Amino acid sequence: MSPERILYPCYFDASLLRREGRRVPRTLAMKSPTLSDLEAALKKMKVPYRVEEHHHPARWAEREGRIAVEWEESKEDLLRTVARHLTARRK
């Protein structure tokens, strides 16, 4: 089994500051990404994943869920790749 990387929608939210949980540059982020946006991007990438009911520890009240992704490379590579697919989807 490949190592898993955890993704939260807040990692891609352009309305958040880095210290509030955004992990990608604003140029790659989108406004209010949802779990289904992330799922669509991962399906397009043909990457195995599963949706979980867990929530980001710093944003527990948001109840946004998370996705566990099987990914061999670095988490930063995954974040940027998913972000590119997200922004392409919204255009």
Q: Which domains can be identified in the chain, with CATH numbers? A: 6-90 (3.30.56.30)
pLDDT exceeds 90 at position 5: yes
Specify the DSSP class assigned to residue 87: H
Determine the pLDDT at residue 27: 92
Could you please report the per-residue DSSP string of 19-78? GGT--S-TTT-BSS--HHHHHHHHHHHT--EEEES---GGGGGG---EEEEE-SS-HHHH
CB atoms within 10 A of CB 63: 9
Specify the DSSP class assigned to residue 11: G
Q: Which two tokens stand for residue 44?
A: 């397009």
Q: What is the pLDDT of residues 22-81, one digit of tens each?
A: 999 999 999 999 999 999 999 999 999 999 998 888 877 788 899 999 999 999 999 999
Is the model more confident about 6 or about 91? 6
